[in-house]
Structure formats: C-alpha cells, structure tokens
Amino acid sequence: MAEPTDLENLRRGTDLVKRGFARMQQGGVIMDVVTREQARIAEDIGAVAVMALEAVPADIRKRGGVARMPDPANVEGIIDEVSIPAMGKSRIGHRKEAEILEALGVDMIDESEVLTPADDRYHIDKREFTAPFVCGARNLQEALRRIDEGAAMIRTKGEAGTGDVNQAVHHQRNIKGAIRQLTGMKHEEREKWAREHEAPAHLVHETAEMGRLPVVNFAAGGIATPADAALMMYHGCDGIFVGSGVFGAEDPERMGTAIVDAVNDWDDPEALAQVAGAAGSGMSGESNASLPEEEQLQDRGV
Amino acid sequence: MRVAVVGVQGDAAEHVAAVERAAASYGHSVEATAVRNAGVVPDCDAVALPGGESTTISRLLHRRDIAPELVAHVEAGKPLFATCAGLIVAARDARDDRVETLDVLDVAVDRNAFGRQRDSFESRLDVAGLDDPFPAVFIRAPAVADVGPDVEVLATVDGQPVAVREGPVVGLAFHPELTDDSRLHDVALFDPLTGG
C-alpha cells in the first residue's frame, strides 16, 4: 500500500472544490423546503438537494414585506433531517446572512433575488467563502459577472412563485444564444462584446472557447410541471430548481417524483407522457404578463 | 471498446469527457456514452459509475431497472469504475437505509466521512501502483470503513481507505474525472480490457 496522506496538506474552498460540488448536482432537481418534514419528503422522492427558505416564493409574493434568510434553527433542523446537500438563501449583498449560513454548515448558498436585496449596488464577494454559491442571471453578461465574483453555479432568474416558465426560458435562450454568437467571433470582437456588455473579458474568452458557461447552468423560476422541467432540459440546462411547484401542487409527492423522472426522460416523449400523467394538478400560478414591473423579482441585482 | 457512463444523475458529462481523454492519451479506440435507460449496459465492455448524490442515484438505478444490469456486468467479470457516490452505490453496505446499494464491492462505506461541503478538499494522494501522487478532489466524500478479505486498499487519507480494488471493480472516494490526470482511468478501465 502507498504512503498514507494525512489531513495536514488539504486545500479547502478552492474553485475546483466549489465548482466540483455544483457539478455533482447535474441531472438533479433541487427542491425548495420550509420545514424538516418537507425536506424529508423531498429526499424520499429523489431530490438531489434541498433549498431552505422561510416561505416558498408564491407565499413570499402573497405576503409582501421584507423577505430575509431563513431562521437558523430551522436551517439546522433541515440539515439534520436529510443526507443530501442542504442549501440556503441569503439576500443579495448580505454578506452576514451568507456567513451565518456558512457557519450553520449549508452546502451551498443561493444569493437570491427572491429575497429582498440588502445592497442595491454590490453582490457578495463570493471568492472569500469556503461554501460555494449559486446566483441568478437573465443573460450571459450577468452570469459572467456573478462567476467573476465567485459563483460556482448559475441559474436562470425566472419569475419565482408565478408557476409561469416563460421568463426562465427567455433567460436560458439569452445565455445560450449569446454563447453561440461569441463562439463565432474573432478575439477582438469578443473583447468589444465584453466592453459593451460590462462582462469580464477573460470569462468571455473562456466561455467562447468552451462553448458553454465554465460553471453548471441550472433552470429556476416558474417551473411548475414535469413538462416545464423537460422544456428547460431541452434548452440545455444542467438541472432544475423547483420552488413552489412541488409543495404548492395538489399532491407534492406525486408532482416531485414526476419532475425528477422528467429530468431523466426529457428527450423521450412517450416516457414523458406517462410521467406527466402521474403528476396530478400543478400549482395554480399567475402569468408573468400580468405582473406589474415593481412586482418582478428578476430585475433585482443585475 | 464501449464504455457506459451511468448518467441518471451526477457528473456524467465530465466522466464521458475524461474517458475520451484517457482513451486518446493511451491510444485506445473508445466509444463512451451516458446511459439513462435500461438496455445499454449489457452491450458495453466497461462501466463508469460517476459522482453525484448516492441517495438519488441508487433510487433512480432501481426505478429505471439499470441496477440488475450493473450487477450482471460485474458478475461477468467486466470492469466497473465507481467514483464517490458511485463507490457508495457499488458497496455492500452504505450504513444508511436511504441508499439501496448494488453489493458488487465487498466494503462498507461511511457517507460524508470527511464532513459537509465546507470540509471538502483537494490533496495530492499517494496511490499504490502509481509512481507519482494523484491530484485527488474530495467532495462531501465517503470513506471505506470495513474491507472484505479480497479487497485491496490502494490509498488512504488519515488512515481511512479512499481507493480500493476487488477483481474487476475499482472504487474511489474522490473524483478523477474533475482533473486532467488519466492514470486511474487506465488502471480501472483499460488495463483489465487490454491485459495491460
């Protein structure tokens, strides 16, 4: 046997370790939960991770007021309840909420526009954390700014709590379309694109050369049915966040199981038909088109 | 040769790329495919079982009828390369009834043996049979807790086995697919098939 490695020479919180964690979530469904019981159900129906928050987005919308990080005692309870990763949401720019979540031991922090932003100009400097971060983006330049700040995962910024997938599709098309465009550009054209879109040039080049974002790219916001999840996989997402879609459905266990299956069967219409038929009714939802601008969450933190 | 990368959940894309990279650097002609349905594994010469979430992967392998195909694959003496969550799923015992293991590798494993994500780490790791240390990435990694009589321990961290081999099965607690180093792919997949 080889010489044993001891725990002295280990490097924690590196980009490779943080982005690597995000890569392990691929092909998975990350479900919003507000209680331990919901976390247990989410794990049992095949969620790859749970996201702790104080209320699901649909309820945050209804309730109004300031939405903050979840209660630490509740986060601890959720962490204890499941063996899969537990994530937690912090407000945009709220470094202290993020530090509290990291100290509690959450496996990933979502710096999320679903909560009320704490800083209207700056995001958290995520490179200083050992915990990996996921951030929302409406387009490629926003995604690359977040990656430059240290985000290890990007998700679309679809209108959370509406049950309307249209904005998530819009954002994913923006990101993929811009990458296709960059791939065909010469070096100086990419440099100009970076300047015009306020995007870090080194990440513009890296993305163009890879033909994809350098971190995994999930769908989030308004995904309410197995067909919605399959649609986002068709648009090239690496996995799915479901907020109000599972626990706002008529039968959360059936809906959650069906969404997990749909992520595997997104390219098989016959299997998908069976999966969709087993889901039960989805959350009621509210069309994006009917939302006044001040109620849209996606314009927070760009 | 055909290599199936189990792709029900986890970093299958990275594994496919790593298998192709390894094949190119060792001069083998390999077709690597991510597999989400039953019916593909029986036609493959070797299988990689990637990282991801072991609870989710084990549930989906059974729900999608891929589990018995993997057991038959190992019983036929064909190589299986199981990394991180794959190691947990391949084990005899995951010491957690949320994971229904395949029992194709005679070890018990402790899930998240090194802690949560904040404790995840990179390290240069000495591995038996390799001349130089291997760049190992451990992410919410398991460790082998109990080793059967026919299992060879290839590497340890802090006294706990993190790389093991039993017949055609190689199990790692870390992620060789996240780095450019192909040596363990060669050990696990190509050596057994080419008699290397």
Query: Where residue A213 sits, what CATH number does that domain have?
Result: 3.20.20.70
**Rounded to whole angstroms, what are the CA distances from A248 to A98, A110, A114, A251, A285?**
27, 21, 16, 8, 9
What ipTM is given for this predicted complex? 0.96
Scanning B87-106 for CB atoms below 8 A from A yields 96, 98
Helix (H, G, I), strand (E, B) or coil at A142: helix
| B81 and B45 Cβ atoms separated by less than 8 Å | no
Q: Is residue A287 part of a domain?
A: no
CATH of the domain at B112: 3.40.50.880
Check CB contact under 8 Å for B52 and A24: yes
Which chain B residues are Cβ-neighbours of A274 within 8 angstroms? none
Helix (H, G, I), strand (E, B) or coil at B33: strand
Check CB contact under 8 Å for A26 and B64: no
| Helix spans in A82-200 (H) | 95-104, 140-148, 166-183, 187-196
Check CB contact under 8 Å for B52 and A27: yes
Domain count, chain A: 1
Which of B44, B84, B166, B185 is an active site residue?
B84
Question: What would the two tokens of residue B174 be?
Answer: 């870390």
A133-182 tens-digit pLDDT: 999 999 999 999 999 999 999 999 999 889 999 999 999 999 999 999 99
Name, in order, each residue with C-beta under 8 angstroms of A172's C-beta and a sequence gap of 6 or more: A156, A217, A219, A232, A235, A236, A237
Check CB contact under 8 Å for B117 and A131: yes
Check CB contact under 8 Å for B117 and A108: yes
Using CB atoms, pick whichever of A130, A132, A264 lies closest to residue B60. Answer: A264
Domain hosting residue A81, numbered range = 23-280
Given a cut of 50, whether residue A1 has pLDDT beyond it is: no
Kindly state the average pLDDT of the residues A31-56. 96
Could you tell me which residues are beta bridge partners of residue B34? B5
Alpha-carbon gap, residue A238 to A221, rounded angstroms? 15
- Give pLDDT < 50 ranges for chain B: none
pLDDT at A294: 80
Which of B44, B69, B73, B175 is an active site residue?
B175
Domain hosting residue B40, numbered range = 2-194
Could you tell me which residues are beta bridge partners of residue B152? B165
Alpha-carbon gap, residue A96 to A51, rounded angstroms? 18
Check CB contact under 8 Å for A85 and B178: no
A241-257 tens-digit pLDDT: 999 999 999 999 999 99
**Rounded to whole angstroms, what are the CA distances from A150 to A68, A145, A194, A288, B1?**
22, 9, 18, 30, 40
Interface-testing mutation among B117, B140, B157, B180, with chain A (most A C-beta atoms within 10 A): B117
The DSSP line for A183-216 is: HTS-HHHHHHHHHHTT--HHHHHHHHHHTS-SSE
Work out how many CB contacts closer than 8 A connect A with B. 141
Question: What would the two tokens of residue A292 be?
Answer: 């006044």
- Chain B residue at shortest CA distance from A44: B98
pLDDT at A5: 59
Using CB atoms, pick whichever of B37, B119, B175 lies closest to residue A20. Answer: B175
* Of A106, A134, A158, residue with least CA distance to A291: A158
User: Active site includes B28?
Assistant: no
A199-252 tens-digit pLDDT: 999 999 999 999 999 999 999 999 999 999 999 999 999 999 999 999 999 999
Domain count, chain B: 1
Which of B15, B73, B177, B185 is an active site residue?
B177
Chain B closest-CA separation from residue A289 CA (Å): 34
pLDDT band at A3 (very low <50, low <70, confident <90, very high): low
Question: What would the two tokens of residue A279 be?
Answer: 């889901």
Chain B closest-CA separation from residue A51 CA (Å): 15
Chain A closest-CA separation from residue B110 CA (Å): 12
Chain A closest-CA separation from residue B118 CA (Å): 5
Which of A89, A96, A126, A176 is an active site residue?
A89
B25 contacts chain A (CB < 8 A)? no
pLDDT band at A290 (very low <50, low <70, confident <90, very high): confident
- Which contiguous run of DSSP H or E holds residue B146? strand B143-147
Q: Is residue A5 part of a domain?
A: no
Alpha-carbon gap, residue A186 to A204, rounded angstroms? 12
Q: Which residues of A67-83 are buried (b: 16+ CB within 10 A; e: fewer)?
A: bbbbeeebbbbbbebbb
Which chain B residues are Cβ-neighbours of A13 within 8 angstroms? 118
Check CB contact under 8 Å for A27 and B137: no
User: Active site includes B84?
Assistant: yes
Interface-testing mutation among B56, B138, B153, B162, with chain A (most A C-beta atoms within 10 A): B56
pLDDT at B36: 95
Residue located via tokens 């970093």 = B11
Q: Is residue A181 part of a domain?
A: yes
pLDDT at B192: 86
B10 contacts chain A (CB < 8 A)? yes
- Chain B residue at shortest CA distance from A103: B118
Contact residues, chain A to chain B, C-beta under 8 Å: 1-7, 9-14, 16-17, 20-21, 23-28, 43, 46-49, 79, 83-85, 102, 105, 107-108, 130-132, 260-261, 264-265, 268
B147 contacts chain A (CB < 8 A)? no
Check CB contact under 8 Å for A2 and B158: no
Alpha-carbon gap, residue B89 to B148, rounded angstroms? 16
Q: How many CB atoms lie within 10 A of CB A128?
A: 11
pLDDT at A292: 82
